[in-house]
Amino acid sequence: MFNIFKKQETEKESNHPSIIAVACLLIHSAKIDENYTDKENRIIKDAIIEMGAESDKIDKIMQDAELKEKDSNQILGFTREVKNISEEDKKIIIEALWDIIYSDEDADMYETNLMRRLSGLLYLDPKVVGDIKEKVRQKKI
């Protein structure tokens, strides 16, 4: 569907900085409530595959992203790379983030604060983010 991360055969996909940055953002959001579940991991993998990553390389991408996210103490480095992609692709990322947040059927104050910060850092209209949030919440009902 969206192939923002498709690379030429000669370039290693797992080294592509944008895909690692997206995975780091998603992993960070999954860990913010201190309960990183297998369900959230699956949501992250599915979102990255939907955005163009090859499914046979997803485990390496996740491994690289988890190490990078663990070594980072802020999200600014991840958003620098991601903020330059198209608005449509950013919406896909935001939807995946809300899917992660609502995977346990509740959004705590840390998760909602993260989404407010990310919408600003990714230059997305808060109304658009709110609309995506409602769409995800309706899927969970």
- How long is the chain? 141
pLDDT (0 to 100) of residue 114:
87
pLDDT (0 to 100) of residue 3:
53
pLDDT in tens, 5-25: 544 333 444 445 588 999 999
The residue extents of the domains of the chain are 15-140
Which pair of structure tokens corresponds to residue 94?
């935001």
- Average predicted confidence (pLDDT) for the chain: 84
Which CATH fold topology does 15-140 show? Answer: TerB-like (1.10.3680)
